[in-house]
């Protein structure tokens, strides 16, 4: 029992020291714990590959780790959101996509993903509004043609669903 109390006190001390470091210096949990960018990149590569293999639960665990340790990396939030979306956890995915969207409001791909989640929740009017925003973002930008076509296809599908309801 004494060992458990000592271990708990030691862990509490480490948490307080880390919190003090972050409060004083700012930065990320990774910096506070001495995890360098190379290690984060390796974890991201693993998470990305797991996602590509449709191992979304494993990928989600890695993206959770990455988001917790470097909350400033937008791509970590996008990866986490994509895993949640694949699990049809649309509300949680919307939160993660929302963080990524706040980091770059001009990215139409995240707007499209948000619309997909809204559609998955049956919030078709909200999804169409998000898709209208995507349409404005991609207009006149050939590098976003694919996103524009996907957004238009979803918009048309939602219009058909609404018309048949």
User: Among candidates 19, 15, 17, which has minimal Cα distance to 27?
Assistant: 19
- C-alpha dihedral, 130 to 121 to 89 to 117, nearest 10°: -20
Question: pLDDT tens, 134-147?
Answer: 999 999 999 999 99
Q: Where in the chain is the domain with CATH 1.25.40.10?
A: 35-88
Task: Record the pTM.
Answer: 0.82
Which ranges of the chain would DSSP assign to H, the alpha helix?
2-25, 29-33, 37-52, 56-69, 74-86, 90-103, 108-120, 124-138, 145-164
Question: pLDDT tens, 67-126?
Answer: 999 999 999 999 999 999 999 999 999 999 999 999 999 999 999 999 999 999 999 999
Q: Looking at domain 35-88, which CATH architecture does it have?
A: Alpha Horseshoe (1.25)
Query: What's the CA gap between 85 and 46, in Å, rounded?
Result: 19
């Amino acid at each position: 029992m004494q060992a458990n109390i000592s271990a708990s006190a030691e862990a509490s001390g480490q948490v307080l020291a880390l919190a003090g470091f972050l409060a004083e210096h700012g930065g990320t949990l990774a910096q506070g714990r001495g995890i360098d960018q190379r290690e984060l990149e390796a974890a991201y590569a693993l998470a990305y590959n797991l996602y590509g293999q449709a191992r979304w639960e494993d990928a989600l665990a890695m993206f959770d780790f990455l988001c917790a340790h470097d909350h400033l990396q937008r791509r970590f939030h996008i990866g986490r959101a994509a895993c949640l979306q694949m699990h049809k956890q649309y509300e949680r995915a919307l939160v993660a996509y929302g963080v990524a969207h706040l980091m770059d409001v001009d990215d139409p791909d995240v707007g499209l993903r948000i619309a997909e989640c809204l559609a998955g929740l049956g919030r078709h009017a909200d999804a169409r509004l998000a898709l209208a925003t995507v349409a404005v973002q991609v207009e006149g930008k050939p590098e976003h043609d694919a996103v524009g076509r996907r957004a238009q296809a979803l918009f048309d599908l939602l219009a058909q669903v609404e018309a048949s309801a």
